[in-house]
Structure 1
Amino acid sequence: MPPQGAIVAVLATAGLASSFMYTLVVPIQAKLPELLDASREDTAWVVTITLLVAAVITPISGRLGDMYGKRRIVLVLVAVLVAGSVIAALSHDIVGLVVGRGLQGAVTGVVPLGISILRDVLRQDRVDGAIALISATLGVGGALGMPLSALVTQYSDWHALFWLAAGLGVLVFALVLLIVPPSVLRTAGRFDYVGAAGLTVGLTGILLAISRGNEWGWASPAVLGSGIGGVAVLLAWGWFELRTSDPLLDLRVAVRRPVLLTNVASIAMGFALFTSNVAYPQVLELPAPAGFGLSLLAASLIVAPSGLMMMLLSPVAGRLSRTLGPRILLAFGAIALIAAYGYTLLFSQEVWQLFVANVLVGVGIGFGYAAMPMLIMRSVPQSETGASNGLNALCRSLGTSTAAAVIGAVLATLSTPQDGMQVPTAAAFQLSYVLGGGAAIVALALALLIPQRPAPEAHPSLPH
């Protein structure tokens, strides 16, 4: 078997590539209507489709990994990323770009699969630190990818972003193929196609309503139909999953107290993270007096330290998890986020103060995101790790998608005319910080309710 450090490094690189896809198009998002000769409503799908595909594919790929081998499914997802990147790079219209971005979203499933691979192949004393590092890549790739994307866009044609993504995908595919060992732990049974279809339809309805609510109108028939229809489909899906012999997700495992509380806390943590991703860059880029008037590249560099903190804290998170337990680690992460938003409410008049706030956000997300997969894997059978980590990643995606819609609505509603355009007011940003801090408080309360140790019958054995 290859050195364990090399396996961790390769899976961390795959995680960075996955999270990079979220911020890949940020530098060109405002220019897409002009670049593609399309309406702003149509170009919004360039972002929306990635979120939808990522949310749907993550739990499904986790189950496929449990059944057919986690490395094999990672390779498939990375190959889909490469195909989507090439399609987008060759596209000059909205249809090709949306198709390419949708295929890129599939790569999100590699992070929970990578975490499950670590549990299968690493020595027990290395698992927690490695999981913390892979979890950190969820924030690091986005934070570092934003200035990189801005730099590429500034000095090259926008298609170069997608050629860069394709090259990164090819590199990750080769590294995984050469270094990550094939999975030997498999779950018997057949794949639940009906469950996969039901989950896809239900999640698509809910996420469509959340992500397009601002644009379509929260009381519009399209939003209400999508949201209510999605909930109804998921209720029917849950009924079916509890009665089928080989469910896509074992909901009896998912409703165990440690798993359920961790997943709900993941929604709150995702909301708290993405609140900073929406609010801080906007206030940095908006012209005075509403903001600081920084360029996209300069604003990206102020936000980037949050990702660096996640990476730097990963070995610390691993040690704290072993000594204090992942439950306390999750609580520490929530407290750091509460401190970040509390600090921003009091001190946000200077650029350096937002820099400090982003560092605190990095501490909070670094600890919180490291703790959640550890809590999940201590509470589910080893045969369920891929699907259970996929469900946890889905919950984080629900939190980030909800934050994007809610904070976007707040900033759009509480706005004032300035230089011929509507810009958010100071009160809009203050309310955003309150909502982000409130989500962190919810995450803290849920962390404290998680049992210190999982029930003996649920506690899986870890590799030695």
Structure 2
Amino acid sequence: MNTTQAPPVAVGKAAVAALGLLATATGALESVVSPTLPLLQRELSLSPAQGALLSIALLITGALLLPVTGNLGDRYGGKRVMTRLMGVVLAGGLVSSLAPNLPVLLLGQVLQGAMVGALPLSFILVRKHLPKGDSQVAIGVVSGLFVGGGMLGTLIAGPIAEGLSRHWMFAIPTIAIAVATLLVHRLMPDDPPVRSEARIDWPGLALLSGILLTLMVVLAIVPEAGGRPLELAALVVLLAALVAGWIFVERRSAAPMVDLRLLARPAIWSSYAITFAVCLGTSLSMYLVPQLFAVSGDGYGFGAGATDIGFYLLPGAVAAAVSGPVAGIAARRFGPRAAVTAGVVGLMAALLAMVFLHGEVWHLVVGKVLVALASGVCVTAVVVKTATTVDHTDTGTATSLVLVIRVIAFAAGAQIGGAFLTAGTPAGSTVPAESAFVAGFVIGGAVAALSLLAVRKLDQGGTGASSP
């Protein structure tokens, strides 16, 4: 593998700000569907199943494309791939803005899913053009602004759709993406390709896509597993076969999509294990807390409406947006491992506290804030550690896999939370027992605690490559 790298061209704050603006705009466009789904279902005459499909189309596409975009960025240069990728996103935003029906809107969402690849490409650029300490802070800022953009999109989507139209809630973030892409193209220096001579591993790409798609389908039917055991078993067997085939192909490929030797390093596999555990626990709380706000059970719950729930969750969204820059600064000052440890401990404490303290609204609001802050710090610090552990030629691939695992863990957590509430609902009732929520918080805290076993591996097995 050719790891020769030209001396980096220093960039100023304006170039990093352009990446931050792009992260904010893509985060906003990604999040506009969720809060306006009832409106879209009404205007487009969608069934609940069609609405569910619309809500996950972008997520699935993003999970499938993340390893590809990170790998291509490593091969051909982050800026080059990003500008082309944003062309696909802009096309998706335009299609979604003009969509008259569900099939066209689904096409737009599929194209928009390419936006998730902007994060690992941004990490490639900041690592190539900034000193190590500055790149750690920049990664945290870009990650935080993507989350902040998602919060902004959630807040503005409804008012725009109701005050103007559903078309404008896609169009306005798309225009912002176009402006940000032009700024990145103008302000960010080119980063030369480092592995452009290598061919793309198409068999590995096809198998990895099949693994991710099958896994998402498995997670989607987990809450109904009791009624569909044969279907679930068949999918698990298919998933195992795809994984075995992918490992076989990657071991023999001259230019694998993912170098399995990279995954074998303790610093890398521990990063992925921590990401999965932390995001699974976080996702459980993200699913259970709104349900607990809404439920009106016997002696527990609050019977809150959608507007009240959004208000209650807003502080947690702000905490999630702030967590990225906080993690970047903490990783620079104390080291990524210390930041990860603090995040895991904080997450575990917050989840277990909600086991005992969930009888008042403020209990859950504060708990959600602490979960969002701790989880954001932990995951961003893991990304920083991963990005600065591998060679420059593997930055996009390694960090994109962190983000893929994050998507999978969030999907798994939501489905597990749904399964807990389904199992905890008495026959003839539509209200889950309070014990179902308690069990979910316990499991989330326990899974987060298990990630501490992997934290000590974060400083083992690095490449020793120097940062620019």
TM-score w.r.t. the length of structure 1 is 0.90
Q: Please give the per-residue CA displacement for 1:257-302, whole angstroms capped at 9, x wherever unaligned.
A: 1101111111112212222322222333445766434443442233
- Cα pair 1:263 1:392 within 8 Å, conserved: yes
Q: 1:220 to 1:148 in 2, by over 3 A?
A: farther
Q: Please give the per-residue CA displacement for 1:117-152, whole angstroms capped at 9, x wherever unaligned.
A: 110011233111112222324533334432333433
CA distance in 2, matches of 1:55, 1:39: 25
- Cα pair 1:117 1:183 within 8 Å, conserved: yes
Q: Which amino acid aligns with 1:398?
A: I
Matched, 1:11 2:10: no
Tell me what 2:195 maps to. Answer: 187
- Cα pair 1:274 1:403 within 8 Å, conserved: yes
Tell me what 2:125 maps to. Answer: 117
- Cα pair 1:128 1:374 within 8 Å, conserved: yes
Matched, 1:357 2:362: no
Matched, 1:312 2:319: no
1:233 counterpart (230, 242, 248):
242
Tell me what 1:248 maps to. Answer: 257
Q: How does 1:55-454 map to 2 (within 5 A)?
A: 55-188=63-196, 189-214=198-223, 219-286=228-295, 291-415=301-425, 422-447=430-455, 449-454=456-461
Q: Please give the per-residue CA displacement for 1:203-245, whole angstroms capped at 9, x wherever unaligned.
A: 1111122124436867354444334313311220111111111
Query: Alignment partner of 1:354: what SS?
Result: helix
CA distance in 2, matches of 1:284, 1:154: 25
CA distance in 2, matches of 1:299, 1:137: 23
What is the Cα deviation at residue 314 of structure 1? 4.2
Bigger CA drift: 256-265 or 351-360?
351-360
CA distance in 2, matches of 1:154, 1:431: 39
CA distance in 2, matches of 1:222, 1:93: 31
Tell me what 2:4 maps to. Answer: none
Bigger CA drift: 348-357 or 54-63?
348-357
Query: Alignment partner of 1:450: what SS?
Result: coil
What is the Cα deviation at residue 320 of structure 1? 2.8
TM-score w.r.t. the length of structure 2 is 0.89
Bigger CA drift: 220-229 or 332-341?
220-229
Q: 1:163 to 1:49 in 2, by over 3 A?
A: same
RMSD: 2.6
Q: 1:158 to 1:201 in 2, by over 3 A?
A: same
CA distance in 2, matches of 1:434, 1:21: 34
Q: Please give the per-residue CA displacement for 1:354-405, whole angstroms capped at 9, x wherever unaligned.
A: 2211221132123212211222123321111111111111111111111121
- Cα pair 1:79 1:169 within 8 Å, conserved: no
Q: Which amino acid aligns with 2:466?
A: S
Q: 1:340 to 1:207 in 2, by over 3 A?
A: same
Q: 1:44 to 1:224 in 2, by over 3 A?
A: farther
- Cα pair 1:78 1:172 within 8 Å, conserved: no
Q: Which amino acid aligns with 1:384?
A: D
What is the Cα deviation at residue 85 of structure 1? 2.2
Q: What percentage of aligned pairs have identical amino acids?
A: 25
Matched, 1:42 2:47: no
Bigger CA drift: 370-379 or 65-74?
370-379
CA distance in 1, matches of 2:436, 2:36: 25
CA distance in 2, matches of 1:422, 1:22: 32
Q: 1:414 to 1:288 in 2, by over 3 A?
A: closer
Bigger CA drift: 110-119 or 267-276?
267-276
CA distance in 1, matches of 2:222, 2:134: 44
Q: 1:78 to 1:315 in 2, by over 3 A?
A: same
Q: 1:433 to 1:148 in 2, by over 3 A?
A: farther
Tell me what 2:28 maps to. Answer: 20
Q: Which amino acid aligns with 2:59?
A: L
- Cα pair 1:147 1:297 within 8 Å, conserved: no
Q: 1:133 to 1:297 in 2, by over 3 A?
A: farther
Query: Alignment partner of 2:252: what SS?
Result: coil
Tell me what 1:461 maps to. Answer: 466
Aligned residue pairs total 458
- Cα pair 1:327 1:450 within 8 Å, conserved: no
Bigger CA drift: 138-147 or 361-370?
138-147
Q: 1:439 to 1:102 in 2, by over 3 A?
A: farther
Q: Which amino acid aligns with 1:243?
A: R
Q: Which amino acid aligns with 1:225?
A: A
